[in-house]
Amino acid sequence: MDENLKRYIELIPKAELHVHIEGTFEPELMFEIAQRNNVSLNYNSVEDLRKAYEFNSLQDFLDIYYGAANVLLHEQDFYDLTMAYLQRAHADNVVHTEIFFDPQTHTERGVSFETVINGISNALKDAKTQLGISSKLIMCFLRHLSEQSALETLEEALPYKHKIIAIGLDSSEKGNPPSKFFNAFNRVREEGFFVVCHAGEEGPAEYVWEAIDLLEAERIDHGVASIHDETLMDELRDRDIPLTVCPLSNLKLKVVDDLKQVPIKAFLDKGMLVTLNSDDPSYFGGYVNDNYLQTAKALNLSRNDIYTLAKNSFTASFITAEERNAFIEKLHTFDKNFR
Ligand code: ADE
Ligand code: ZN
């Protein structure tokens, strides 16, 4: 790739809108926390663990991902996990990030909601002061669990409402359509949260329709299956519903065989609000800049495409109009001065 475009990608200010905090858990930190908590991992070494990162499907990955999360017990563990991600994102010139967390992964093991959210949100606060990186927190319901469990989790979250901007739906998509959570998301909207939803990752375009029409999702996570439905793509564009696409994730989980098949260019050409993100960077071989770089190379993206993707990341963020304008101004200044 052209050296200048590479530098442009690395340096351009950007927002990341689709990253699971549990998916940023690097094996080195995992072993460190396992040791201090006296918990055993199913692997003998960092190398052993990394060797297990060969996935044939979303479920293959989730089995390892949930297993690794078992070592997280104390507030400090959640703080360290979050701070490590924020430092890494900062190095990629991420200036704003919207982070998912899965409380049920932890509360089901007896770790309290309070422990999880305090550890994460203290790191977010410190990173704002120390690194200048701004952030929001998005709570996700695990869709392989029941709607009742989602409703109970929502009740647990309400005392921490001021720390959570939006609520989403993640985990095993096939067989767990958005419609399964119709009542839970009615409650979510009554409480005034934004709604996001993983849809059209492994599941069909029909699940994206359910997410926008039944759950009234304001943003779709992945959504790559929309490429098979022209009417849906028109609808997403006309309703300004962004997609948070994660190319390296799609490659590692065999949603596509080649990065060339991730429909970024097609979505951009349609005028859709598409963004690039890392999903679970410690498992999928790269953080947000790696996603930009490898996608740009595979799809021959131009400097103008990269600018649009970065701008879309701010347009699609859950921030105030004032914050958005400030970020876009910063982006514009960067572009104008870039040599
Ligand atoms: N949880 C973490 N990563 C996920 C993904 N890519 N899809 C669904 N749930 C997830
Ligand atoms: Zn995801």
DSSP symbol at 2: -
Q: What band does 212 get if pLDDT is binned at 50, 70 and 90? A: very high
* CATH assignment, 3-333: 3.20.20.140
Over the stretch 134-175, which tens digit does the pLDDT of each residue have?
999 999 999 999 999 999 999 999 999 999 999 999 999 999
| Nearest residue (CA) to ligand 1, atom 9 | 171
What are the sequence ranges of the domains in the chain? 3-333
Angstrom distance (rounded) from CA 287 to CA 283: 10
| DSSP-derived pairing of the beta strands 274-276 and 243-245 | parallel
- Whether 218 is a known active-site residue: answer no
Which residue of the set 201, 202, 210, 218 is catalytic?
201
Region 79-92: mean pLDDT is 98
Task: State pLDDT tens for residues 281-318.
Answer: 999 999 999 999 999 999 999 999 999 999 999 999 99
Q: What is the pLDDT of residues 70-80, one digit of tens each?
A: 999 999 999 99
Q: Hey, what are 7's tokens?
A: 């530098």
pLDDT value of position 56: 96
Percent residues over pLDDT 90 in the chain: 100
Residues 223-262 have pLDDT tens digits of 999 999 999 999 999 999 999 999 999 999 999 999 999 9
260 within 8 A of 45, measured Cβ to Cβ: no
Average pLDDT value for residue range 199-205 = 98
HSE (side-chain half, CA atoms, 13 Å) at 152: 11
Q: Is any atom of ligand 1 closer than 6 Å to the C-beta of 280? A: yes
> How many other C-beta atoms lie within 10 A of the C-beta of residue 3?
7
Q: Among all ligands shown, which has an atom nearest to the Cα of 64?
A: 1
